[in-house]
Amino acid sequence: MSNNERILAQENQDLAKTARIKYYDIVLEKGAGAIITDVDHHQYIDLLASASATNTGHSHPKVVRAIQEQAAKLIQYTPAYFANTTTATLAQRLVQLAPGDGDKKVAFGNSGSDANDAIIKFARAYTGRSYIVSFTGAYHGSTFGSMSVSGVSLNMSRKMGPLLPDIVKVPYPDQNQRLDGEDDDTFSKRLFEQFKLPFETYLPAEEVALVLIEAIQGDGGIVKAPQQYMDLVYEFTRQHGIVFAVDEVNQGLGRTGKMWSIDHFGIVPDMMSIGKSIASGLPLSAVIGRRDIMDSLDAPANLYTTAGNPVTSAAALATLDVIEEEHLIERSARLGQIAETFFHQMAAQYTFIGDVRFYGLNGGVDIVNQAGEADVEATTKIIYRAFELGVIIISLRGNILRFQPPLVITEEELNQALTILAQVFDELNAHQLALPESDNHIGW
Ligand SMILES: Cc1ncc(COP(=O)(O)O)c(C=O)c1O
């Protein structure tokens, strides 16, 4: 029995089913940059970056050093009671980094999920209204609040209701909603009509606190809303005094080739949530928003013992330094283009590759059958074979390849991963790939 098998067999006895989305039978030992190593010493090129939570790569030396130095000084004193220099410095830096010149404030959390809960709380408190509009295909997290505004998996609401009341979901303008030959303009207007339908039939706009959106949906399939659609929705919120908030947990911090995904649209949100990569994967999240909105709640309406913890804050400051010093935003844009070109070439060659969407080192690639429909089986074959050949890539929504390597991936590693994927596509085309024997139900 390999080390991987032995540890997984043991863990299987202890770990709740819901705690893992099943993909590959590996147990990780270590990571450096874009390379991860398992307990049997196999190395993989990581095209997942811990679910977009390690944009600076695994165990970046500068981040490691910052964590070690801070840990030696003060691991934790809850910022809920007393300030510390590191957290205070980070608060100032984040406020400056968020889009817009207006006055802003920050509130820390431990996860992207609780940051989205915080957005709900602040928006309700500020407006004195209760309704929230969010989108199908959204993943906002796993707490009751963030789960209630999500719309990407039945398992996120199954058996756990009732969820948060007064949530309305409207269709996200993704490619599956687009009619044949429909241009951005017509598509945006048609989907905006669908956005407005609840408001015209049962949802008084003056009772709506918040519109919460991923400007580019992550788990929904790396899908970008058209500019015009975003403008229409944003303008609607201006007309009706509704808070407009963006979830940057997955797509923020350089992932899309810009600092924030909302920067692609030239819109300044009232609030935004960040998490995942902010502390290179340590548990830290934040909500940054307009000062008047953020001042609408009093302590202890939104605080957590470890939120903004000194060690996670030190990791975040080092992470932001690395993003700047190593020009990771430009790097994401440049290397993303290499990957995008590759997948377009593959799409021209193979009919099973459908829509290709890339925004920085951040791609969604649809795998489809001859009828152009989602092909989950082929997707499973592809990602499993890639894994066998030393590339970690997973799927979204069953049939979308999720391409999100650490932004520090070297060009050589990237090309190596693409060469392996080209081989996998060739093998699928030649009907040489089978489903993995043990587990053909991998993925979401
Ligand atoms: C867009 C988005 N928001 C929120 C979350 C939740 O973050 P966390 O898992 O840190 O609670 C995620 C996680 O995948 C996400 O992708």
Write the pLDDT tens digit of every residue in 172-206. 999 888 999 999 999 999 999 999 999 999 999 99
- For the chain, the domain total comes to 2
With a 6 Å cutoff on the Cβ, whether 111 touches ligand 1 is yes
Cα–Cα distance measured from residue 94 to residue 389, given in angstroms and rounded to the nearest whole number: 40
Give percent of the chain with pLDDT exceeding 90.
96
149 and 258 inside one domain: yes
With a 6 Å cutoff on the Cβ, whether 214 touches ligand 1 is yes
Measured in angstroms, how far is the CA atom of residue 80 from the centroid of ligand 1? Answer: 23
pLDDT averaged over the chain? 97
With a 6 Å cutoff on the Cβ, whether 141 touches ligand 1 is yes
What average pLDDT does the segment 212-230 reach? 98
Of the candidate ranges 32-46, 97-111, 351-365, 427-441, the one whose mean pLDDT is the lowest = 427-441
Question: What is residue 439's predicted lDDT score, i.e. its pLDDT?
Answer: 59
105 and 224 inside one domain: yes
Q: Which atom of ligand 1 is least distant from the CA of 53?
A: 10
202 and 70 inside one domain: yes
What average pLDDT does the segment 380-386 reach? 96
Q: What is the CATH number of the domain that holds 262?
A: 3.40.640.10
Residues belonging to the chain: 444
Please report whether residue 364 resides in a domain. yes
With a 6 Å cutoff on the Cβ, whether 135 touches ligand 1 is no
Of the candidate ranges 147-151, 153-157, 216-220, the one whose mean pLDDT is the lowest = 153-157
What average pLDDT does the segment 208-225 reach? 98
Question: What is residue 437's predicted lDDT score, i.e. its pLDDT?
Answer: 76
What average pLDDT does the segment 415-438 reach? 94
Q: Pick the last residue of a domain from 325, 357, 372.
A: 325
Ligand 1 probe mutation, 114, 144, 250, most atoms within 8 A of CB: 250
Question: What is residue 304's predicted lDDT score, i.e. its pLDDT?
Answer: 98
With a 6 Å cutoff on the Cβ, whether 117 touches ligand 1 is no
Sign of the C-alpha dihedral computed for residues 174, 124, 281 and 66 taken in this order: positive
Measured in angstroms, how far is the CA atom of residue 250 from the centroid of ligand 1? Answer: 6
Q: Is the pLDDT of residue 440 over 90?
A: no
What tens digit of pLDDT does each residue of 10-24 get? 999 999 999 999 899
250 and 332 inside one domain: no
Measured in angstroms, how far is the CA atom of residue 135 from the centroid of ligand 1? Answer: 15
With a 6 Å cutoff on the Cβ, whether 52 touches ligand 1 is no
Measured in angstroms, how far is the CA atom of residue 362 from the centroid of ligand 1? Answer: 16
Measured in angstroms, how far is the CA atom of residue 379 from the centroid of ligand 1? Answer: 23
Cα–Cα distance measured from residue 67 to residue 62, given in angstroms and rounded to the nearest whole number: 9
What tens digit of pLDDT does each residue of 301-312 get? 999 999 999 999
Ligand 1 probe mutation, 140, 153, 304, most atoms within 8 A of CB: 140
Range of the domain at 137: 63-325
Q: Pick the last residue of a domain from 296, 325, 354.
A: 325
Question: What is residue 443's predicted lDDT score, i.e. its pLDDT?
Answer: 73
Give percent of the chain with pLDDT exceeding 70.
99
Question: What is residue 242's predicted lDDT score, i.e. its pLDDT?
Answer: 99
Sheet containing 167-170: order of strands: 104-109, 285-290, 271-274, 243-247, 208-213, 131-135, 167-170
With a 6 Å cutoff on the Cβ, whether 173 touches ligand 1 is no
Let me know: does 287 contact 122? Beta carbons within 8 Å: yes
Please report whether residue 435 resides in a domain. no
304 and 242 inside one domain: yes
